[in-house]
Structure formats: C-alpha cells, structure tokens
Amino acid sequence: MDNLSMLWQLDTLTRANEYLDNSTNEPIHLQNFIENRFLGYEHTSEWIDSVSPRSGSILSKVPRSPPNVVEYAINVASRAFQEWSQTPPAKRSEILLRIASILEEKREMFAVWESIDQGKRIMRARSEVTRSIEHFRYFAKYILQYEDSAVRVNKGSGESTLSYEHRLPVGVFAIITSWNMPLCLLTSKIAPCLAFGCTGVAKPSELTSMTAFLFSEVLRRAELPTGVMNIIFGDGPDTGSNLLKSPLVRGISFTGGVNTGIQIRNDTVAEIHKRLSLELRGSSPTIVFGDVDIDEAVNVAAYAAFENSGQLSMGGSVIYIHRSIYREFMPKFVQSVRMDYRCGRELGPVVSEQHYDKIRSYLCQAESENARCETGEIPLGAPMDGFWVTPTVLSNVRNNSLLLQEEVFGPVAILCTFDTEAGIVAMCNSTPNVIGTVVLTNDLSRMRRVAEQLDAGLVWGNCWLGRELSAGYNDMKAVGTGKEGGERSRDTFTRLRTVHVPSY
C-alpha cells in the first residue's frame, strides 16, 4: 500500500498513533503533486526531515524539490491557465463545492494529521479544518453573486461612448504558507485563486507539509482540471525562491515571517508586473480598561495569548492593563494560566526545535533585563521528548525591550500597565508590526473610539479571533500588503480592464 492510501485510512487518533508507535514503520515519504498526479520518488534526490513536535522524532520525509521540478510545476500551471481562466464561474463553483464536500467527508482525518504534524490540540485542529471547508463554500457562492461590470454612457463633445469594466484572472500564482495553521492558511489562498480563474503552484512550510500532501488527493478526487493547482514541497531558500523568481509566475500570495517577506520583495523588485500579497507575522496586543468584569477579561486575554500555544499572528501576547485594576487582574490571570493552560492538556508543543530555541532566547533576554517571571520557566537548552515550553507570564518588562517590539510567537504573555486612553493608543501605534488589537471595555463609546484610532487591520471588542470571511482584512504598517476576504481577495487574484466602445 502506498503512503497516501495508508494515510487516507488512518483517520482517527487511535489508528494514527498505533501506526506511529510501531517502530518497524518508516517515516512517511511525501510526494509532489503536479499535473494531477503524484511524482515518483525517483524525482527527489534530497529529503528534508520533518520532526514530530510532540516527540522530537522524525515523522515524515519531505521532498526538497529541485529547480527542474519547480519549473515543471510552473509550466504545467501556465498551460492550464488558458482554459481555466475561461471556465464559466458556475463550473468553477461546482468544483469548489466538490472540494469542500470531500474535505468535510474526511474532516477527522485532516484534523488528526494536522494535530500530529503541527503539534496543536485536536480540538483546535478540528476548528481549522472546518474553516478550510468554509473557504471553498464561501468563494463558490461569491463568484456567482458579485457584479462584474459597471456600465456608463459618456456623452462628450465628440461621439458618445459606452464604458464598462470587467475583471480578468491575474495568471499563475505562487502560494507559500506558514506552519502555524497549515491547512487553513493553504486553503484560504487556494480557494480564491481557483474561484477567480487563476492557476497556481503551492508550497507549504517544510515543517508542516502533511495535510498539504493529503489535500492534493482531495484535488485529484474532486476532478480539478489537470495542472490547475499543483502542490510541491521544499524549503524557502531553494524551492521557494526558485518558484517566486519564475517569469511565468504573475502573482505571489505569501504568509510567513517578516524577513522572508522582505526577501520576496527584494527577489521580485525588477518584476514590477507581479502581484504581491504578503501577510507577515506580527502581534495583536490586548488592551484591558478599568471598567471591565475582571474575570471575563482574564478569560478573553488568556485565550488570546495562549491558544495554539501562542503561535498565532493574531494572538494577544502583550496585555496592557489599566493601572487601576492591575493588582487585581494580574494574580487572577496568572492563576488562570496555571489552571487552564497546561502542557500536554490544553497546550501542545511548539512546532520545531528552531522555534523552541528562539522562544528560549527571548526568555533568557527577559531574565537578563530583570523582568519578573510570574509563572513558567526558561526551557532547557536541549529539548527532551518534544518541543514543550511551559506557559509563561512576564511582568516588569522594560518599555524599550525587544520583547514588546517583536512577536515571541509562543506560550508567553507579557503584562504591562497603562494610564490613559490616549497613551495606550499611542503606545500600540508605535509598534511597527501590529496586525490586530483586542479592546476590553464595557464602555461602547470608548470601544468604538479606540478601535477607530488604532493602526490595526482587525480590532475585536470584548471578544477575540472570530472573523467573517466576507469582512475585509488588510495588513497595515510593517506586516505586509496582504488582502483577504470577499472583494479584497478578488482584488488580489484579478485585474481590472475598462473597455470603451461607441454608443449608438
């Protein structure tokens, strides 16, 4: 039995863990998916070890796709574009709905392998798979409803003209996604790419490629036309860079770190025609005003800080508390973290040893700056049996510390105080990489006022993380040029043409 067929049957945690616990089973070898078929192992000369976050042992072997395989995938997508871009929206919608149905049928299998591969809790993985299904259903409906043109009759001094606008797919897209929400991020880009008539080559993170491999089989079973979406594997400096630099790639949709985003802009600076959508890793501070119900505020703030082990760009790892309630809020928050966010229960490990070391370096820096550790600890220098970081709460962090300027991206929360509304708005707006902000207050006027002053693409009032797919999402400041949701996804994957003809 080939690896894919075997994985397709390991659709419960029990079955998957029984397979992984069997020491006679070799690591799972993934395969590139190009032209609606899986390439044989003979096309891969180098492999990347993908390690289980929970155990530290090798989970899978990921192809390091060489330049000729990358070029093959791009050429296939380029040839497929001519026909797919002309496919009627109703037909594209039908295929997207088939993809959603197959995903739903295998929902638990995807959740199981997402949990194993990334380290997240199974409940968190299930919610992300559900969101992935929603991506395809949403865009399947959207393309049947939106208005494509605006018609005007222009009566000038000469002949009158009839003007109308229509949208065209951009072309072949390179889709590169991060490791923190592997399937959800991948489908958030593939769904609109297909919906609006583009073709693509997708490359997930080499750290978390398992569900992308399984999703390739979904595309095959859904009978997506040959070559319309191809999924290849490899690292960023080699495979990713070769993909982005191809002259046949007309657009890039990327989610990941700031440094990689900068490198993408540098690599494509001479190709001004390329459409770039860069969603870069940032922070989402939580602001707690003095009029809140403290117990409710503690629950929301802790959830925002520690969900997915803090590995969410929209996570609220820095929590600003009004000085009037800080002494009451802080011990309740610490107690909540100790009781409700325990390693191996409510919290999984972090994704890799490299990321473990990065988080450890931030905590060592905090110790050197005399920050106070209210709970938690600096993890061991050499991780044992997986990449587990104890949930940590820091206080007494200096205002100029890098911990407040950069995102730790792990199970670490930093508690700070503030005094005035204007002061906290200025403080949040001085941070260059803010994605969203959580505002906790019982004063609705203040909530609206503060939300409209913050330089953040998303603001949550007395809640966190929910977002309608139709609601716009725009990166602001130093977190990229990404656009998602309804019309904004349409703007990313299509270009506008205006036509003028004589009016009779």
- pLDDT grade for 152, boundaries at 50, 70 and 90: low
* Of 309, 401, 403, the residue nearest 350 (C-alpha): 309
Is the pLDDT assigned to residue 22 strictly greater than 90?
yes
Q: Which CATH number fits domain 3-281+481-496: 3.90.1150.10, 3.30.930.10, 3.40.50.300, 3.40.605.10?
A: 3.40.605.10
pLDDT at 290: 97
Give residue 323's identity as a one-letter amino acid code. R
> Residue 458 CA to chain centroid, in angstroms?
15
* DSSP characters over 457-472: SEEEES--S---TTS-
| pLDDT given for residue 160 in this prediction | 76
Q: How confident is the model at residue 475 (pLDDT cuts 50, 70, 90)?
A: low
Where are the domains positioned within the chain? 3-281+481-496, 286-467
Can 3-281+481-496 and 286-467 be said to share one CATH topology? no
Q: Which of 264, 238, 235 is nearest to 252 (CA)?
A: 264
Q: What percent of the chain has pLDDT over 90?
A: 77
pLDDT in tens, 277-314: 998 888 889 999 999 999 999 999 999 999 999 999 88
Question: Which position has the token pair 């969410």?
Answer: 312
Q: What is the mean pLDDT of residues 247-265?
A: 93
- In a 13 Å sphere around the CA of 236, the CA atoms on its Cβ side amount to 17
- Mean pLDDT for the stretch of residues 87-109: 98
Over the stretch 480-489, which tens digit does the pLDDT of each residue have? 566 677 788 9
pLDDT, residue 1, reads 59
What's the pLDDT at 472? 61
C-alpha dihedral over 438, 443, 444, 450, to 10 degrees? -50
Cα–Cα dist 456/454, whole Å: 6
Give the pLDDT band of residue 473 (cuts 50, 70, 90).
low
Q: Can you give the pLDDT at residue 487?
A: 83
Per-residue pLDDT for 437 more than 80? yes
Chain-centroid distance of CA 270 in Å reads 27
In single-letter form, the type of residue at position 224 comes to: L
Tell me: the pLDDT tens digits for 319-366?
999 999 999 999 999 999 999 999 999 999 999 999 999 999 999 999
Whether the CB-CB separation of 171 and 250 falls below 8 Å is answered with yes
CATH topology classification for 286-467: Aldehyde Dehydrogenase; Chain A, domain 2 (3.40.309)
Q: Which residue in the block uniquely carries the two structure tokens 């003095």?
A: 290
Q: What is the pLDDT of residue 147?
A: 66
Contacts of 493 (CB under 8 A, 6+ apart): 169, 170, 173, 192, 193, 195, 196, 197, 198, 251
Amino acid identity for residue 92 in this structure: R
- Contact indicator for 202, 232 with CB cutoff of 8 Å: yes
Q: Give percent above pLDDT 70 in the chain.
A: 94
Average pLDDT, stretch 418-432?
93
* Residue 115, number of CB atoms within 10 A of its CB: 24
pLDDT of the residue at 398: 93
The pLDDT of residue 151 is 67
Q: pLDDT tens-digit profile of 46-69?
A: 999 999 999 999 999 999 999 999
Summarised one tens digit per residue, pLDDT across range 178-234 is 999 999 999 999 999 999 999 999 999 999 999 999 999 999 999 999 999 999 999
Residues of the chain by 3-state class (helix, strand, coil), percent to 5: 45, 20, 35
Q: What amino acid occupies position 44?
A: T
Interior angle at CA 480, CA 476 and CA 481, nearest 5: 80
pLDDT at 158 over 70: no
For residue 258, the model assigns a pLDDT of 86
Confidence of residue 149 (pLDDT cuts 50, 70, 90): low
Give the start-end residues of each E strand in 389-451.
Answer: 392-395, 412-418, 436-440
- Please provide the average confidence, as pLDDT, over all residues in the chain: 92
Helix (H), strand (E) counts: the chain: 17, 22
CA–CA separation, 83 and 249 (whole Å): 17
Which residue, 338, 326, 315, 473, is CA-closest to 393? 338
Residue recorded with tokens 């803010």: 434
Partnered with residue 163 across adjacent β-strands are 152, 500
Residue 385 has pLDDT above 70, yes or no: yes
Question: Do residues 264 and 255 touch, judged by C-beta distance below 8 A?
Answer: no
Helix ranges (H only) for 257-392 are 258-267, 294-306, 326-340, 353-368
Q: And the tokens for 180?
A: 């923190």
